[in-house]
Homo-oligomer: A and B are copies of this chain.
Amino acid sequence: MSGGVKVTLLAGGVGGAKLAEGFAGISGVDLTIIGNVGDDEEFHGLWVSPDIDTLTYTLAGMIDRNQGWGVADEGHRALGTLRSLGQDTWMTLGDKDLGLHIYRTMRRQRGDRPSVIAHDVARAFGVTAGIVLPTDDTLQTRVRTASGWCSFQEYFVRDGCGPEVMGLDYAGAEAAVATPEAITALEEAEIIVVAPSNPLVSIAPILAVPGVAQAFDEAQAPKIAVSPIIAGAALKGPAADMLRSLGGRADVVGVAQHYGALIDCLLIDGTDAPQKEEAAATGQDVIVTDIVMRNAAEKRRLARTVMDLAVRAA
């Protein structure tokens, strides 16, 4: 790690990985990312950790840029065999990606800590930022729809986010023990950033670990969130529908209310400037800026904006 400013980023999948790339792309930052393990699930006996892998693949430059997840130049031969053998293959696991799941599963079965495995994978792929798990225990986001409870991947991939979300649960979270790495990353952070990831299924499962929530709460660094909602919609994923169906507002005011006193500052997009005062009524500083990240330059710009804000706040 360089001797830069210690930035700790809470991040979920694609949106979180984009901002992580922004921080990794500017100088003077010592970046640690606490990722989401609530999407983790076993497929065909292999342990799959989609959000952590999206972070890793993105920072390693291996990501499929067209879809924002998975590995570039991917094949699906193994999945074809599994389909021939009668397995459900709605979870589109590519061959390169399966190599990682095979490795992770082997090491988990040897008794290695999931955190250590994630760290070793990131290093092997050339990622210099720290990728940290909130817990080494199993914590799984469960989604309730009219059909009952299912896993997050069943809702997200199998059902294409179609059914209305009537409830969420972070199974295992209460008993989950925070990793020392996550606690240290929050204690030592000079800036804590909440990525523009889905607040309910990317950020909430991280903070559902009691030890992480406590360390987050007690951390001295300024806490800055980037809104995942722009003009009443998520750029990607079901965040807006979820906020609405779970009784909140699917706009920046709803985001501000959701995070409440957890954060000091919320960045919203210029489009949402008219709602700035209403959002600020929650007691946060609300800053209007450009938060859309369409390319590498925009990712770095948003990261720099966050850094500048934190310096001014300090």
Contact = CB atoms under 8 A, between A and B. Distances in A.
Contact of A99 (B71, B85, B100): B85
Interface string A99-119: 110110110010000000000
Given A45-B105, A75-B75, A105-B45, A99 B81 contact: yes
B75 A95 contact: yes
Given A77-B75, A94-B77, A125-B84, A45 B102 contact: yes
B124 A99 contact: no
Interface in A4-46: 44-46
A105 B106 CA distance: 11
A114 to B, nearest CB: 15
Interface string A112-149: 00000000110011000000000000000000000000
A86 B45 contact: no
A99 B121 contact: no
B96 A80 contact: yes
A82 B95 contact: no
A74 interface: yes
Contacts of A310: none
Among A79, A85, A100, A120, chain B packs the most CB atoms within 10 A around the CB of A85
Nearest to A98: B78
Contacts of A289: none
A82 B100 CA distance: 7
A70 to B, nearest CB: 12
A87 interface: yes
Contacts of A84: 99, 124-125
B78 A99 contact: yes
A96 B78 contact: yes
A97 B75 CA distance: 13
B77 A109 contact: no
A247 B106 CA distance: 41
Interface of A: 44-46, 71, 74-75, 77-82, 84-87, 94-100, 102-103, 105-106, 109, 120-121, 124-125
29 contacts: A45-B102, A45-B105, A45-B106, A45-B109, A71-B81, A75-B95, A77-B96, A78-B95, A78-B96, A78-B99, A78-B102, A79-B99, A81-B98, A82-B99, A82-B102, A84-B99, A84-B124, A84-B125, A85-B99, A85-B100, A85-B103, A85-B121, A85-B124, A87-B103, A95-B95, A95-B98, A98-B98, A98-B102, A102-B102
Closest 3 CB pairs of A and B: A81-B99, A45-B106, A77-B95
